């Protein structure tokens, strides 16, 4: 089956303005899909939408500025795409722009991170997954992080939310596989995104390129359930060979470069 017949006619990219999300927008438009792009900041969102429209004028590109941590975010996304058949959901948003020991910060930030990475993600999977299952085709990709493997001191809510996201996708992969809907938890390592450069000054330009991430995901989408980016399998194997307390300590040491 052609890509657009399998995953079209429309893809929703939650976090579709920058980095991996913007790379998805260009690649999916090239593969024949219409798009709904979601992000908070209108500047990069409009720039990406315009870039797609210019390169692929035959494609329809909808945009919505919304904070995915808001309780009504999923409803607003679904309202945006009303009347369109969404065959592919890419849930990309979800990095943490803050680190620090849990009790040293407010509760609002980790709660909003959890809302993005768990509550709204699940709500969109529920909303778009049901019609995909009824049609017997479709795809769902949710971005995770190597932080899902072991609790990350200084990023407790982030690592917990990514563990949730990956395990949720694994279970869903099995539930939906007999119905022709493909689910993938894409576990990224360091990736060269604008957010990463903002969150960790000095790390700009480092890591996997968003375009490569997209190609890897689309090649693995019909296999699932979990795809780790460059070096991820080796890291997972190493951490898995350690006792749990040693693995947490190792993660803490590995995170030193981001803290100092
Ligand atoms: N970059 C890395 O090194 C790395 C490593 C491991 C895992 N990951 C995962 O890969 C995914 C993408 O990361 P990223 O570095 O590109 O950063 P990001 O901050 O998740 O941004 C990605 C996209 O999501 C949008 N976004 C972020 N928060 C949002 C919110 N609350 N509501 C609506 N849109 C939102 C951003 O636009 P706006 O900011 O305008 O909203 C942008 O378009 C995340 O899930 C992250 O956890 C990244």
Residue 254 confidence (pLDDT): 86
Give pLDDT tens digits for 108-138. Answer: 999 999 999 999 999 999 999 999 999 999 9
In angstroms, what is the span from residue 53 Cα to ligand 1's centroid?
A: 22
In this structure, whether the domain defined by 3-259 belongs to CATH 3.40.50.300 is answered with no
Residue 137: which of 37, 4, 227 has the closest Cα?
A: 4
H/E run at residue 60: none
Quick one: the chain helix, strand, coil %, rounded to 5?
55, 15, 30
In angstroms, what is the span from residue 26 Cα to ligand 1's centroid?
A: 17
Q: Can you give the pTM of this predicted structure?
A: 0.98
- Ligand 1 first shell, C-beta below 6 A: 15-21, 38-41, 44, 67-69, 92-95, 116, 143, 145, 188, 190-191, 193, 195-196, 207
In angstroms, what is the span from residue 45 Cα to ligand 1's centroid?
A: 13
In ligand 1, the atom with minimum distance to the C-alpha of 68 is 32
Residue count (the chain): 260
**Integer Cα distance of 31 and 230 in angstroms:** 24
**Integer Cα distance of 198 and 58 in angstroms:** 34
What strands, in cross-sheet order, belong to the sheet with 181-188? 61-65, 34-39, 10-14, 86-91, 138-145, 181-188, 226-228
Give pLDDT tens digits for 14-55. Answer: 999 999 999 999 999 999 999 999 999 999 999 999 999 999
């Amino acid at each position: 089956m052609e890509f657009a017949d399998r995953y079209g006619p429309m893809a929703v990219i939650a976090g579709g303005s920058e980095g991996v999300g913007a790379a998805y927008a260009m690649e999916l438009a090239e593969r024949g899909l219409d798009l709904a792009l979601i992000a908070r900041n209108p500047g990069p969102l409009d720039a990406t939408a315009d870039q797609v429209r210019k390169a692929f004028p035959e494609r329809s590109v909808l945009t919505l500025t919304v904070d995915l941590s808001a309780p009504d975010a999923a409803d607003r996304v679904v309202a945006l795409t009303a009347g369109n058949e969404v065959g592919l959901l890419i849930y990309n948003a979800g990095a943490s722009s803050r680190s620090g020991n849990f009790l040293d910060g407010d509760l609002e930030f980790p709660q909003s991170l959890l809302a993005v990475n768990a509550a709204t993600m699940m709500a969109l999977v529920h909303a778009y997954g049901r019609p995909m299952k009824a049609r017997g085709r479709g795809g769902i990709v949710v971005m995770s992080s190597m932080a899902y493997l072991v609790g990350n001191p200084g990023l407790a809510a982030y690592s917990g939310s990514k563990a949730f996201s990956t395990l949720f996708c694994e279970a869903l992969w099995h539930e939906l596989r007999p119905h022709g809907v493909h689910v993938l938890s894409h576990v990224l390592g360091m990736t060269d995104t604008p957010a990463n450069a903002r969150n960790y000054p000095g790390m700009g330009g480092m890591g996997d390129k968003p375009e490569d991430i997209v190609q890897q995901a689309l090649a693995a989408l019909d296999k699932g359930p979990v795809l780790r980016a460059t070096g991820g399998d080796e890291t997972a194997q190493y951490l898995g060979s350690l006792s749990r307390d040693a693995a947490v300590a190792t993660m803490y040491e590995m995170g030193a470069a981001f803290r100092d």
